[in-house]
Amino acid sequence: MDEDFFAEIDAINEKYKQEKQKKQEIEKYSVSEFLDLVNGTLEYAYTGVVVEGEVDSFKVNQGKWVFFDLKDKDGATVSCFLPVFQLRVPLEDGMKIMVKALPKVTRWGRFSLTVKQIMPVGEGSIKKGFELLKLKLEKEGLFDPARKRKIPENLVKIGVISSTQAAGYADFCKIINSRWGGLEIQVAHTQVQGMNAADQMISALRYFNEQAEVQIIAIIRGGGSADDLAVFNDEALAREVAGSRIPVITGIGHEVDESLVDLVADIRASTPSNVAEMLTADKGAEKIKVVRNIREIGNRITQEIEHLQGELNSKLNRIQDEAEHKIDTAIEQVRAKEKLLNGLNPDRVLKQGYALVSGDIIEGNVVKITTFEALAEAEIIKVKERKE
Amino acid sequence: MTKVKGQRKGNTMEEKKSISDKIKELDMAVDWFYSDEFSLDTATEKYKSAIKLAKEIETDLDSLKNEITVIQKDFTKE
């Protein structure tokens, strides 16, 4: 029994050896096939390797292809390659960067990294990349104040691009909920730092522009190191923000942090909380305003009533003045006439010693004589013509 | 879209007019009181309407909540 078993095992091993030998004899590769095999193995083993190093021998060939070496302090070097349209951060020799790439052996047998993404690393490199790209975008007019749009009126629908786990997002929600209500806020959850963040935010921007009915898009990210915020200097992301159909407001980092995305956005807020403040009125202040408005229109009615009362009083006064004036005039006229009449009163003349003779002045005729104090009768004895 | 718990909209009856719309309406009512169209005959009626609107705004400001929804599309897998 045991002998049969071992004989069977030996037979299997022999068969395996023969098959292996046969296979090895068959598996001869052409150079291209071998390179394909190697590249397939590399691709399987390293789906997206991230390598950090310093840029050296940077050059652009025929305006289409970018070549550079990445080296480290130990002198190790690896060649890198990418099409120029994928270069989203300006590079210069000496800049420290991080690349996400696929390792590959070229048809000429040279090992290189086919770069998919690049991010500057370290404050100096980030600043250098920022300044170079800022200059480029500025020349294109992407920061022109004339391009900037205002926050839409009657804001109800807001799109937010942020990481929902980020502290900045929590601050934004807290402030906006405390300040205002009735808003419809759609949130696109994306990474806001790291190699993939820019592409995710670009995708979210396209989603809002193509599929969502929002009036403004807010890009929110709390404070962080220069490395954390480097993604907001990505050229493709900056261009996507600049080309957004819907106005974009940014609240990235703190007041002192300035990114290219901030510069191309329509409105820049200093922080995520500040975005919430800029997008909404404060409900407390609004209540005070409403009360003040009501008080003002109440005052306006009172003011109008007082004004009308004033006008009425003025008219009554005028009527009274006019009436009094007419009465006074009449009284004066009466008094003048009275005075005139008094002047014509015969008694007044009689009182001065004169006498009134009534009757025909004919000799022999009896006339009546009236003095102030007495009445008498007298006979006309003689009449003579008076000569002056 | 996924609704965030506790952030549902409060007063659904008032969806036709937003708070901003009502505030704008109140502002216009106030403007009327200072315009040439102002007349004491209609002022009282307008004043009553303005007070009603102001109360509605105050109620809305106290009760309306924001609706925050996270879009289901997974941008992190782009």
Write out the DSSP string of A85-119: GG--S---TT-EEEEEEEEEE-TTS-EEEEEEEEE
Global pTM value: 0.65
* A184, A185, A188: residue with CB nearest B75: A188
Distance CA A273, CA A174 (A): 8
A218 touches B: beta carbon within 8 Å: no
B18:A203 CB<8 A = no
B33:A203 CB<8 A = no
For chain A, the domain total comes to 5
pLDDT score of B12: 44
**Order of strands, sheet of B67-70, starting from the edge strand that comes earlier in the sequence:** A267-269, A248-252, A216-221, A157-162, A184-189, B67-70, B2-3
Residues of A with CB below 8 A from B57's CB? 286-287, 290
pLDDT score of A14: 84
One domain, residues A204 and A308: no
The domain segmentation of chain B, as residue ranges, is 2-77
One domain, residues A190 and A232: yes
Residue B4 clears pLDDT 60, i.e. is over it = no
One domain, residues A26 and A13: yes
pLDDT score of B6: 37
Residues of A with CB below 8 A from B7's CB? 177
* B40, B47, B51: residue with CB nearest A305: B40
Distance CA A173, CA A163 (A): 12
DSSP A152: P
One domain, residues A164 and A61: no
* 3-class DSSP string for A3-46: HHHHHHHHHHHHHHHHHHHHHHHHCCCCHHHHHHHHHHHHHHHC
Q: For each of chain A's 388 residues, which pLDDT tens digit applies?
A: 567 778 888 888 888 788 777 766 667 888 998 999 999 998 888 887 899 999 999 999 998 999 999 999 888 999 999 999 888 888 889 999 999 999 999 888 899 999 988 888 888 888 888 888 999 999 999 999 999 999 998 899 999 999 999 899 999 999 999 999 889 999 999 999 988 899 999 999 999 999 878 999 999 999 888 888 889 999 999 999 999 999 999 999 887 778 999 999 999 999 999 999 999 989 888 889 999 999 989 998 998 899 999 999 999 999 999 999 999 999 999 999 998 888 888 888 888 899 999 999 999 999 999 999 999 999 999 998 887 6
* B33, B54, B65: residue with CB nearest A181: B65
pLDDT score of A2: 66
- Residue A95 inside a domain? The answer is yes
SS3 of residue A353 by DSSP: coil
Predicted ipTM beyond 0.85? no
Shortest alpha-carbon distance between residue B22 and chain A (Å): 10
pLDDT score of A134: 92
- The length of chain A in residues reads 388
B47:A298 CB<8 A = yes
pLDDT score of B9: 43
Could you tell me which of A100, A55, A362, A385 has the C-alpha nearest to residue A234?
Answer: A100
One domain, residues A23 and A64: no
Residue B11 clears pLDDT 50, i.e. is over it = no
A176:B63 CB<8 A = no
One domain, residues A61 and A74: yes
SS3 of residue A50 by DSSP: strand
One domain, residues A28 and A96: no
Structural domain containing residue A186: 154-280
- The length of chain B in residues reads 78
First to last CA, chain A: 202
- Residue A149 inside a domain? The answer is no
- Residue A127 inside a domain? The answer is no
pLDDT score of A6: 81
One domain, residues A245 and A315: no
